[in-house]
Amino acid sequence: MILTKHKKSQELTDKIAILPTTPGVYMYFDSGGNVIYVGKAKNLKRRVSSYFNRTHDSTRTNLLVRAIADMKYIVVPTEQDALNLENSMIKEYKPRYNVLLKDDKSYPMIVVTKEPFPRVFMTRQKQLEGSKYYGPYTDTVAARTVLELIRELYPLRSCRNLITEQGIAEGKGRLCLDYHIKRCSGPCVGKISRGEYAQQIENVKKILRGDLAELLEYLKKQMLDLSAELRFEEAQEIKEKYELVERYCSKSVIVSQTIGDVDVFGVDDDGGDVFINYMHVRRGAVVRSITLEYKRRMDETVPQLLSYAMAEIARRFDVRYDAVLVAEHPDVDMPGVTFMVPQRGDKAKLLEVSERNARQHKIDMLNQLARKDPEERARKLLERMKSDFRLEVLPHHIECFDNSNIQGTNPVASCVVFKDGKPSKKDYRHFNIKTVEGPDDFASMKEVLTRRYTRLVNEGEELPQLIVVDGGKGQLSAAVEALDDMGLRGTIAVVGIAKRLEEIYFPGDSVPLYIDKNSESLRVVQHLRDEAHRFGITHHRNRRSKAQLVSELDSVKGIGVKTRDALLRHFRSVKRIKEADLDELASVVGPAKASVVFNAFRSGNDDDNHGALE
């Protein structure tokens, strides 16, 4: 039965009134009985009440509240328990309004089996009870590299045969090919004792735990003991294993010799999807790294998402946190866990490494998306820009304007066009400023926009959804005035980007917006601004060069374009033409033209007291 709004409100009010003030997890249901949201709370009554006693800034939160038909809750002892339960229930019910963890695949692990003579191999499932699992490894290549190191160091068995002391005594075992090629030590026929095999397995576990320094110390001691006993061949074998481990260490990511064991969570958040990188550091080396991607559903904060990530990592990897480096504290109290927000030193650098990994993962994901589905990649980018720049429609067509002049001479402007976030160079345009005297950027901006959009309107061409002007409040005001005069103010959105701090100015708002430096939106606008600047500077230089040529050669009476071009091709510059004697000029353009050029420049030098003719 679908509840009426009145009944729903009354029933929820009654339930909220008797809610406990203890930690717990709450579930919201729609009228069809489906779980639409799961949340955790330190104080159930306070948290649940906050949904219904006010109008929320987030449209999605208001939609959630409107859809709630029923509510249930589970009381737990601690906030940490609430986090773990919430994480499990989200995975089970997959509520439509909860944050979505986009990366939920299984990763390979390395298992050491629980047998008299254990095996070591890679797996993705925990199926063998009592066995010890290491990992998971987010990089399969890394897992295989560790296995190769183990197999080169220790010839452990790989067969699935059941090997027991009784079977060995009764001679039931049989040597296989692995033994003959020195890939197995032959435990099935007693070629190696159980104690010696167990010591090798213990060393393997040290490698898998990342205790390579301890393993190196063990191998070094063993090597020295064998040398002291004059067992040089055996000592040489241990030396080769020692060097193999050393080479493996050199390939490991060593971040600091002073940091020891620590867990690190670095976040990259540009307002949309959030990427959280987890690194486990043991004895100064990164032994595990994984990046989780969360898609916001309800404007979740970074502390909230950080708590989700920590619960997810603990579940997947069986992690027990002790010391954790973060940029912000998660929104859940975790007894026994020390959170550190480093400001400087090795720990701060380590946190930066984690944040850089999260950022790189985001870039890699976007690049993959661009290759697999360019349209979806463009759509996500435009959605981000629509949100950042407070637009009502997706900015498929963006135009950016920039003015260029040097000491007030040859003022020009450029217009560059981006479509679906990429340059459309065939639509770039140059403008020579016609109505403005002197270096007046504001008036120049107004002239250029008026000319540009008057023409587009008259010709029935497509107008952009967004205009970006290179400059602060002054240039933006000039652009707004131009659009107002043309009646386009409500049709086209316009913003200004200032150079100094990359701040974004909006019409009528004196306080600029500072977009995250890693935001894709800001990168597109920076690309627009840089393209407009480059395009404008190139045109300005061409105009200055042309003006210089006109003043130097085209002012000489009797010299046409062909003669001018021939002289410049031969002498390369006006300066060399002036310095040439009559015979050199005549060899290029003939005696008559040479005489005209020679006399014109000689006359100019005499009149200008041997200065350059302008």
CATH of the domain at 592: 1.10.150
Question: What residues make up the domain containing 516?
Answer: 385-542
The pLDDT of residue 214 is above 90: no
Mean confidence (pLDDT) of the chain:
80
Same domain, 266 and 333: yes
Same domain, 362 and 416: no
Helix (H) / strand (E) element for 343: namely none
CATH number at residue 326: 3.30.420
Same domain, 30 and 133: no
Same domain, 460 and 487: yes
Same domain, 410 and 531: yes
Q: How far apart are CA 447 and CA 481, in angstroms?
A: 10
Of 104, 282, 295, 314, the closest CA to residue 206 belongs to 282
Same domain, 392 and 337: no
Question: Into how many domains does the chain fold?
Answer: 5
Same domain, 393 and 535: yes
CATH number at residue 474: 3.30.420.340
Tell me what pLDDT residue 324 has.
92
What's the pLDDT band for 398 if we cut at 50, 70, 90? very high
Tell me what pLDDT residue 301 has.
86
137 against 444, higher pLDDT:
444
Same domain, 336 and 394: no
Give the number of other CB atoms < 10 A from CB of residue 249.
14
Handedness of CA 478, 481, 487, 488 (dihedral sign): positive
Any domain includes 14: yes
- Whole-angstrom CA distances from 185 to 113, 180, 206, 238, 584 are 17, 9, 20, 16, 92
**Residue 8 in contact with residue 69, Cβ under 8 Å?**
yes
* pLDDT, tens digit, 9 for 90 and up, residues 558-604: 888 788 878 888 887 777 888 888 888 888 888 888 888 888 877 64
Model pTM score: 0.51
Any domain includes 88: yes
Same domain, 390 and 538: yes
* pLDDT, tens digit, 9 for 90 and up, residues 37-61: 988 888 888 888 888 877 777 777 8
* pLDDT, tens digit, 9 for 90 and up, residues 346-397: 888 888 888 888 887 887 777 776 676 677 778 888 888 888 888 888 999 9
Any domain includes 235: no
| Alpha-helical segments (H) within 550-581 | 561-571, 574-579
Same domain, 428 and 534: yes
Any domain includes 233: no
What's the pLDDT band for 405 if we cut at 50, 70, 90? low
Q: How far apart are CA 178 and CA 167, in angstroms?
A: 19
The pLDDT of residue 70 is above 70: yes
Q: Is 247 left (phi over 0), alpha (psi -120 to 50) or beta?
A: alpha
Any domain includes 512: yes
Any domain includes 218: no
Query: Could you give the angle at the alpha carbon of 517 between the alpha carbons of 424 and 366, nearest 5°?
Result: 55
**Residue 32 in contact with residue 61, Cβ under 8 Å?**
no
Residue that terminates a domain, selected from 98, 131, 146: 98
Any domain includes 612: no
Same domain, 194 and 331: no
Residue that terminates a domain, selected from 491, 508, 542: 542
The pLDDT of residue 265 is above 90: yes
The pLDDT of residue 255 is above 80: no
Residue that terminates a domain, selected from 336, 369, 402: 369
Same domain, 355 and 448: no
Any domain includes 425: yes
Q: C-alpha 110: how far from its chain's center?
A: 30
